[in-house]
Structure 1
Amino acid sequence: MIIRNVRPWGADSADVVLDGDRIAAVRPHAPEAVAEPDDLDGRGRLLLPSFSDVHVHLDSSRIGLPFRPHSAVGKDGGAPGVWGMMLNDRAHWRDTDVPHAEIVAGTLERMIARGTTRVRTYAQVDVDCRLEKFESVVATKERFRDHADVQIMTFPQAGILREPGTVEYLEESLRQGSDVMGGIDPCQLDRDPVTHLDIVFGLAEKYQVEVDIHLHEPGELAVFSTELVLERTRALGMQGKVTLSHAYALGSVSEAVSRRLVDEFAELDIAMATIAPSTSGHLPLVQLAEAGVRVGLGEDGQRDYWSPYGNCDMLDRTWQLAFVNGFRRDDHIELALAVATVGGASIMSHSSPRVGGVGDRPGVAAGDRADLVLVDGETPTSAVMDRGVDRTVIHDGRIVADGLQVIGI
C-alpha cells in the first residue's frame, strides 16, 4: 500500500510506501502518479506514529455506561487515598447490567478508533476479583489481536501484603501469560517496602517479565521507594526492564535530587509512564528526554469509579501533557506528541526507536513499523490544540479504523 499525499510530522507532502508491517520508503508526493486500488489518499493530512497508551486501567473502565456522578466520600465516592478509592471500586464495579468483558472490549475499541494501537493495560488481581478482571482483559486482547498490540500487567491494586492469598492469584496470572509484574506504593500502602519489592522482583525474575511500579507516594518517601527500585534493578541486572508509573513527586524534593534521579534512570534504562498529572512536582519532561530516558504517556482510568476523567483519546491527553508542563513552543508541544506516540512504544518494545530529545521526531521513516495515524491539522502543534476527528488508523500496515470507527471486527 502507498499512503499518498501526507505530511510526516508536518513536513512536505510525501508518498509513504508500506511493505507488510514496515515503512519501505518515504518519497516526495507525485500527484501525477496513478493510484492503485489498495492505495490510501491521505488528503494532505498529517502522518504521525500511532498513539501508545502505556498506563491505562481497561479493567476498571465505565466507558459506554451512563455517566456516574462522583463525590469525595460516601457511598457514591471513595474515601481519600489509594486504599479508600480501591474499596469504592471494589464495592461498585459489579453494579452494571453490561458484562465486564464487554465494557473492557468497548473501551479498547474506542481507543483504537481514535488512533491508539499500542496499549499496556493494568489488570487488577486481588482476593475480591481474583482473576475475573484479568480474564476480561485477556479476552479483549485476543479479540483485537489484529488491531492493536496489548501488554497485560498483573496489578495488585489492593497491595500485596494486606490480604492473604493475593500473591497466589498474582502468580497464577503470570502463569497464564501476564506480560508485566506490577507493584504499588511499597511504603505507603503495604508499609513493608522490602518484602513488597522482593515479591515483585522475585516473581518478575521467575517468570521473565518486566516490572512496572505504581508510585503515588509523596516527596522524600517516593524518593526512598525509588532508590530501593534502583538498587534492585542494578543488583538483578534488570536494566531496561523496569518502569516507574506516576512518580509525580520525584521532582518535588530538590533540583539536585531530581538531576540525580534522571541520571540514574538513564544509566539503568528505567522508563517512566506519566498520565500528565495536575501537579508541579514531577520530573521535568525536557530533562528526561534530553537524558535519553524512555517516557510514555497514558490515560490512567477511563471514567471509572476513581475519576470522571478519560475519554479514550490520546490526542486529548497529549494536550494535557503539554499544558501541565507549561509548554508553549512548538518543538516542546511536539515533544509531548512524540512521547504520546513513539515514547510509549519504546517502553513496550526495545525495537521501537526512543525519543532522543526535544527535536527528535522518530517513527515515520523507512524501516519503522507501519503503526500510523493520519489526522487533520495544519501542523503537529495545531493538531494537539484542535484535536480533529478526521483520522485514519494503521496497524502493521493495515487500516484498522477510519472516521472514528474500527474496521474488521
Structure 2
Amino acid sequence: MNPSFLISNVRLSGGASVDVAISAGRIEAIGANLPRDADVVVEDGGSALVLPGFVEGHTHLDKTNWGLPWYRNEVGPRLVDRIENERSWRASSGHDAGKQSLALARAFVAAGTTRIRTHVDIDTDAGLEHLEGVLETRETLVGVADIQIVAFPQSGMLRRPGTDALLGDALKSGADILGALDPALIDQDPVKSLDTTFAIADRYQKPVDIHLHEPGEVGAFTIKLLLDRVEALGMQGRVVISHAFCLGMLPDRERDVLLARIAQLSVALLTTAPPSVPVPSLRACIEGGVTLFAGNDGIRDTWTPFGSPDMLERAMFVAMRHDLRRDVDLALAFDCVSTLGAHACGFADYGLHVGARADLVLVDAATVAHAVVARPVRKLVVSNGKVVARNGAMLA
C-alpha cells in the first residue's frame, strides 16, 4: 500500500474507529491503525463520523436566486402560472444561469454533496442560453463535483413548436439526459408527447428523466404509456420518474400493480418529499423492489422560497414525510441521498468501500441517524481524494 493521503481516527456508521487511506483519488484501504510512510499527508479526523459524499438527485441549478436579494413571490396557484412567470422574469431580469448555478453548486459542495443531477430549462424563448451557463459551471467544478445535466422542456414540448429540435441540440451540446414534463396535462397529448420524447432519447442514446406532476388516474395512465415505451426500446435502468405524485393518490392495490411493473423495468422514482401533496410511499417502494431516491427540486427561485443545498436536511424531510423515527429507519432516509441516488442516476464508483472514488464527508455525530436529525457543520469534505471544503466553507 502506498497512499498519498490518509484520514485517521474516524468512525464508520457501525461505530468502529478506522483510518481511510486514499491513493490516486480512490479509497485504497479502510481499517484500524493503517501503516503510512513518512511522506503521506495525514488528516486527523478527530473521531468524526465518516460518510460517503452526498448525492443531489434532482435540482434546478440554472433557476436559483441563491445569494441574490429576496424575490417577492406573487405568482398564481397553477403550474402554468409558475412556468410563464418564471420564463418572463428570467428574460426581463437578465438572470444569469452561469453565475447562479455556480453559486449554488459551490454551496452544495461545502455541505458535502459531490454528485448532482440538475435539470436545465430548454425553451423556444431562451434557446440553449441556460444550458450554456450550467455547462460552464460543470467545467469550472471538474474534479470537485460531478454534474449531470438534464435537458428539460419546462414550458412543455408539443405546446411550443420547435422545442423538440432544441432538446436534440441540447443533447448534442453536452446535456446528458433528456427531460420531459406532464405529457397529458401540459402537452395535452400523452401518446404523441411520449412518442416524441422517447424517439429523441433513442436517436441520441440518452436516458430519460420525466417530471410527472399529473394526479391520480391521469398520472397512472401516463406511467403505463411510459413503461410501454421503456420496454419496447429496451431502456430498463435508464429512466427516472420524478415526483410521481399519482402513486401517492391511487388505491394500494392499483398502486402496487404499477410498482411491480416499475420494478420489473428498473425504472427509478425521485421524490422531494414535499409536505403539501401525496407522494409515493417509501415503504411500498422498498417492499416492491423500486428504487426511490431524493432531491431538493428548485432552491430559492421564482417557484419556491424554500430549499437549501444540504442533503442531510433533505434526508430529514424524507424521514419526516414517511414518519421514520427509529435509527434504522432514519438510515433509510440517508440512503435516499446517498447510495440510492448514486444508483438511480448512474454515478459510478460510489460508496464507502475499497476501490470507490474517495468522496467523503466528516461530521460530528454519533450515528447516521444523529447526522440526519442534527445536520452538523461538515468538518471536512473530500472529493476525488482531495479536500474541497472545511467547516462548512468551500476552499478556493
Cross-structure match for 2:385: 397
Which residue is equivalent to 2:227? 230
Contact 2:96–2:133, Cα closer than 8 Å, also in 1: no
Aligned 1:156-175 pairs, distance under 5 A = 156-175=153-172
Contact 2:211 2:242 in 1 (8 A): yes
Q: 2:358 maps to what in 1? A: 370
Q: Does 1:48 align with 2:51?
A: yes
TM-score, normalised with respect to structure 2: 0.94
* Secondary structure class of the residue paired with 1:39: strand
Deviation by residue 1:69-107 (Cα, 9 ceiling, x = unmatched): 32xxxxxx3222221101111121245577432111111
Displacement of 1:304: 0.2
Retained in 2: the 8 A contact 1:56–1:121? yes
Query: Partner of 2:269 in structure 1?
Result: 272
Equivalent of residue 13 in structure 1, options 5, 10, 17: 17
Aligned residue in 2 for 1:128: 125
Q: TM-score, normalised by structure 1?
A: 0.91
State the distance in 1 between where 2:349 and 2:262 align.
19
Q: How many residues align?
A: 392
Give me the whole-angstrom Cα distance separating, in 1, the residues matched to 2:38 and 2:251: 58
Mark the CA change 1:93 to 1:78 in structure 2 (over 3 Å): closer, same or farther. same
* Secondary structure at the counterpart of residue 249 of structure 1: helix
Counterparts in 2 of 1:262 and 1:97: CA distance versus 1, 3 Å: closer
Q: Cα 1:391–1:253, aligned 2, differ >3 Å: closer, same or farther?
A: same
Q: How many Å apart are 1:207 and its aligned residue?
A: 0.6
Structure 1 position 400, deviation (Å):
1.5
Quote the Cα distance in structure 2 between the aligned partners of 1:275 and 1:35: 47
Residue 348 of structure 1 and its aligned partner are, at CA, apart by: 2.3
Do 1:115 and 1:391's aligned partners in 2 also have CA atoms closer than 8 Å? Answer: no
Provide the secondary structure at the position in 1 that maps to 2:98.
helix
Aligned counterparts of 1:290 and 1:261: Cα–Cα separation in 2 = 13
RMSD over aligned Cα atoms: 1.9
2:71 corresponds to = 68
Bigger shift: residues 340-349 or 108-117: 340-349
How far did residue 158 of structure 1 move? 0.6
- Give the fraction of aligned pairs with identical amino acids, expressed as a percent: 38
Structure 2: state its 5+ residue gaps.
Answer: none
Report the Cα distance in structure 2 between the residues aligned to 1:268 and 1:135, rounded to whole angstroms.
Answer: 33
Partner of 2:182: 185
Deviations 1:306-339 (A, max 9, x none): 0001121111111111101111111111111011
Work out whether residues 248 and 277 of structure 1, in 8 Å CA contact, stay in contact via their aligned partners in 2. Answer: no
Task: Determine the C-alpha separation between the residues in 1 that align with 2:128 and 2:139.
Answer: 16
Give yes or no for the alignment of 1:195 onto 2:198. Answer: no
Deviations 1:336-390 (A, max 9, x none): 101111211112226457xxxxxxxxx2122332222111212111111111114
CA–CA distance in structure 1, aligned partners of residues 101 and 380 of structure 2: 23
1:370/1:394 contact within 8 Å kept: yes
Structure 1 residues 35 and 308, CA gap change in structure 2 (3 angstroms): farther
Distance in 2, matches of 1:59 and 1:407, equals 22
